[in-house]
Amino acid sequence: MTFQNTREFAQQLDAQDELKQYRSEFIFPQHNGKNVIYFTGNSLGLQPKRTKQYVDEVMNDWANLAVEGHFYAQKPWWDYHERFAEPLSKLVGAKPSEVTVMNTLTVNLHLLMVSFYRPTKTRYKIICEEKAFPSDQYMFQGQVHFHGYKPEEAIVEIKRREGEHNIRLEDILAKIEEVGDELALVLLGGVNYYTGQVFDMKTITKAGHKAGAIVGFDLAHAAGNIELQLHDWDVDFAAWCSYKYMNSGPGNASGCFIHEKHHANKELARFGGWWGHNKERRFKMEPQYEPIVGANGWQVSNLPILSLAPYLASVEMFAEVGMSKLIQKRNQLTAYLEFILHEIDNEIQGTEFEIITPANQEERACQLSVFLHGQGRALFEYLMKNGVITDWREPNVIRLAPAPFYCSYEDMYEFGQILKKGIISK
Ligand SMILES: *Cc1c(COP(=O)(O)O)cnc(C)c1O
Tell me the per-residue pLDDT of 118-151, one tens digit each, with 9 for 90 and over.
999 999 999 999 989 999 999 999 999 999 999 9
Q: Measured in angstroms, how far is the CA atom of residue 367 from the centroid of ligand 1? A: 16
Give the domain CATH number at 214.
Answer: 3.40.640.10
91 in a structural domain: yes
Tell me if 179 sits within 8 A of 206, measured CB to CB. no
Give the domain CATH number at 330.
Answer: 3.90.1150.10
303-324 residue pLDDT tens: 999 999 999 999 999 999 999 9
The ligand 1 atom at the shortest distance from the C-alpha of residue 43 is 1
1 in a structural domain: no
419 in a structural domain: yes
Mutate to test the pocket of ligand 1, among 43, 104, 136, 241 (most ligand atoms within 8 A of CB): 241
Which range is least confidently modeled, 167-171, 213-217, 288-292? Answer: 288-292
pLDDT at 373 over 90: no
Give the list of residues 6+ apart from residue 93 with CB closer than 8 angstroms, or none: 227, 228, 229, 230, 231, 232, 233
Cis ω on the peptide bond leading into residue 395 (within 30° of 0)?
yes
Point out the domain boundary residue: 303, 321, 339.
321
Q: Please report which helix (H) or strand (E) contains residue 157, including its range.
A: strand 155-158
Note whether 171 and 79 are same-domain residues.
yes
Note whether 149 and 203 are same-domain residues.
yes
Note whether 134 and 228 are same-domain residues.
yes
- Distance CA(314)–CA(308), nearest Å, equals 10
Amino acid at 48: P
Mutate to test the pocket of ligand 1, among 101, 103, 105 (most ligand atoms within 8 A of CB): 105
pLDDT at 375 over 80: no
Note whether 197 and 273 are same-domain residues.
yes
Tell me if 246 sits within 8 A of 314, measured CB to CB. yes
Handedness of CA 137, 141, 146, 147 (dihedral sign): positive
Point out the domain boundary residue: 321, 340, 355.
321
What's the mean pLDDT in 49-70? 98
**Which pLDDT band holds residue 380 (cuts at 50, 70, 90)?**
very high
The ligand 1 atom at the shortest distance from the C-alpha of residue 133 is 13
254-272 residue pLDDT tens: 999 999 999 999 899 999 9
Note whether 114 and 197 are same-domain residues.
yes
Burial bucket for residue 62 (CB in 10 Å: 0-12, 13-18, 19+): middle
2 in a structural domain: no
Burial string for 246-271 (b: 16+ CB within 10 Å, else e) reads bbbbeebbbbbbbbeebbeeeebebe
276 in a structural domain: yes
44 in a structural domain: no
Note whether 200 and 310 are same-domain residues.
yes
Tell me if 29 sits within 8 A of 378, measured CB to CB. no
64-73 residue pLDDT tens: 999 999 999 9
Tell me if 274 is assigned to a ligand binding site: yes
Point out the domain boundary residue: 258, 289, 321.
321
pLDDT at 409 over 70: yes
Q: Measured in angstroms, how far is the CA atom of residue 106 from the centroid of ligand 1? A: 6
Tell me if 136 is assigned to a ligand binding site: yes
Note whether 265 and 340 are same-domain residues.
no
Note whether 236 and 378 are same-domain residues.
no
The ligand 1 atom at the shortest distance from the C-alpha of residue 241 is 8
User: What mean pLDDT value characterizes the chain?
Assistant: 96
pLDDT, position 395 = 87
**Distance from the first to the final alpha carbon of the chain:** 33
pLDDT, position 285 = 85
Q: Measured in angstroms, how far is the CA atom of residue 135 from the centroid of ligand 1? A: 6
pLDDT, position 426 = 61
pLDDT at 56 over 90: yes
What's the mean pLDDT in 233-258? 98
Tell me if 243 is assigned to a ligand binding site: yes
Tell me if 61 is assigned to a ligand binding site: no
Minimal-distance CA residue to ligand 1 atom 2:
220
Number of structural domains found in the chain: 2
42 in a structural domain: no
**Which pLDDT band holds residue 87 (cuts at 50, 70, 90)?**
very high
Burial string for 390-417 (b: 16+ CB within 10 Å, else e) reads bbbeeebbbbbbbbbbbbbbbbbbbbbe
**Which pLDDT band holds residue 282 (cuts at 50, 70, 90)?**
confident
Tell me if 234 is assigned to a ligand binding site: no
Tell me if 334 is assigned to a ligand binding site: no
Note whether 152 and 117 are same-domain residues.
yes
Which residue range is the domain that position 267 belongs to? 53-321
pLDDT at 374 over 80: no
Note whether 372 and 419 are same-domain residues.
yes
Note whether 236 and 174 are same-domain residues.
yes
- What residues are in contact with ligand 1 under a 6 Å CB criterion? 104-106, 133, 135-136, 189, 193, 218, 220-221, 241
Note whether 411 and 291 are same-domain residues.
no
41 in a structural domain: no
